[in-house]
Structure 1
Amino acid sequence: MLARFAVHQGKQISKARLLLQPRVLSTVTGSERPIRSEYPSPVRHGFIPEEWFTFFYSKTGVTGPYMFAAGLSTYLISKEIYVLEHEFYSGLSLALALIVAIKKFGPSVAKYIDKNIDEYEQSWESSRTDQIKELQNLIEHEKKEQWRTDSQKMIADIKRDNINMQLEAVYRERLSHVYQEVKRRLDYQVQLQNMERKLAQKHMVEWIVENVKKGFTPDQEKIILTRCISDLQILVNKN
């Protein structure tokens, strides 16, 4: 009965110690969040680690740790290396009082501490969730800004194309203006040459006619005039 009571009280003490200690974090994978261990390493008799017992099993068997503890205690007490003075009995009474206090007040204290831990974990989880949402909003905002930057590039390309089209239109307009000016000047030169040719022909005809007239005598003019009149009369009679 005493051993069962000690084991039970040891479990209660271990659980209370776990709740009072800072949370122990262990990483499952590199991408998952750390997880707090729910229970500590197993112990015996409330405070002795299980590893201390399993260390003796391969050499002395199951009874090895207990025989070692009993023999060491007997040796220390018999040789008065460890003296059982009044502080030892005070420690026993204090341990008994602690066991009774833990047995009576342990569940309520554990429930209160669990509630505080749950509230703290919920607040931490809510802050983590809010931070994740904020980071996601920042990512979405960054994506929108990148999209806007791409649209600005498209707008810049469109403006560049418009400027190139305007430059092309101005270039073609200037080419047309140059063509019209060159054509106008060439037309002027052609008209000038035609006018000079007409004037030259006119003066040439007038000069020839004038010289021919000078070469005719009055008798020849009368003969020619008479012949012309006769030719006209013949033409009239035929009609």
Structure 2
Amino acid sequence: MENVEMNPQLHAAYNQWLASQIKSSSRERRQRLKKGLSFSSKQFVIRILWPAFGSFDGWLAEYEVIDFKDGYRYLDLAKPSVAIKIAIEIDDKGTHGSNADAHKFSDDRFRQNDLIIDDWKVLRFSFRSIMDQPRRCQQQLMHALAKWGLESNRIEPALKPAETAIYKFVENRAESFSPATLAKAVGIHRNTAVKHLKSLVAKGKVMPDASKPGGPIRRYRSKKGYL
């Protein structure tokens, strides 16, 4: 299991998402967000949430709810709306399961029960599954949201015939690739490959893969096969 480096597009989107929440929050939530997300929550955001949807629209970190003891609890991630409230809880490797003491384990179950009683839809993911089975986590999250009436009406941008051919070649590739490699594989000029890759980036199908944040884009990778 290893950390995933954020490409420039993801890095910028993540920082903007977090900054906007810090600006709009108050009290303890603001302080928690200013410290940054926990390692496990951040891994979920960049390994699961971003590859699945290509944005953080509607998702909130460290979301504050009032429990039945009139105290505050903070959800790892939440997507609240008038129609449906979705909570993502991440079972961190050091705070759940066999390593948790009896009080913590029981309190965690009461926490989930309180959310369900208050009409939250709760999804739980373990830290290990986020790191070892990201595609399965992505699929389960997308399936749940579609079943609950969210994201199911999402309109995918239309692809030109050449873009469709390119995307079929790259969609399940786990490794990054250069425009020259792509051009040779599909039989087009490198400059044409670059043009189509930029269009696929804009349509959310392909991700630029810079060697360092802010550096030149010489390679790309599929968002679908990215993890």
Pick 1 or 2: higher relative contact order, CA cutoff 8 A, min separation 6. 2
Q: Which has the higher helix share?
A: 1
Give 1 or 2 for the bigger CA radius of gyration. 1
TM-score by length of 1: 0.19
